[in-house]
């Protein structure tokens, strides 16, 4: 998915589910969003983390 769509989905998931969500690069031009507790990929691929408990 595109970066803007990944950020929109990540923010929505974080605020709806109240879990930390990471946005990560999946390749040359793709991005993904998933709960941080389930991400086991390369830490260098993480672009952003949404923490719904941080103000």
Is 51 in contact with 14 (CB distance < 8 Å)? yes
Q: Is the pLDDT of residue 55 over 80?
A: no
CA gap 25, 23 in Å, rounded: 7
DSSP designation for 49: E
Four-CA torsion 6, 8, 13, 15, nearest 10 degrees: 150
pLDDT band at 33; cut points 50, 70, 90: very high
- pLDDT of 22 > 80? The answer is yes
- pLDDT attached to residue 6: 95
Average pLDDT, the chain: 94
φ and ψ at residue 54, rounded to 5 degrees: -90, 135
Cβ pair 17, 53 in contact under 8 A: no
């Amino acid at each position: 998915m595109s970066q803007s769509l990944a950020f929109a989905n990540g923010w929505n998931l974080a605020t709806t589910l109240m879990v930390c969500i990471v946005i990560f690069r999946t390749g040359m031009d793709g991005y993904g969003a998933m709960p941080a507790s389930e991400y086991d990929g390369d830490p260098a691929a993480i672009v952003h983390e949404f923490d719904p408990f941080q103000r």
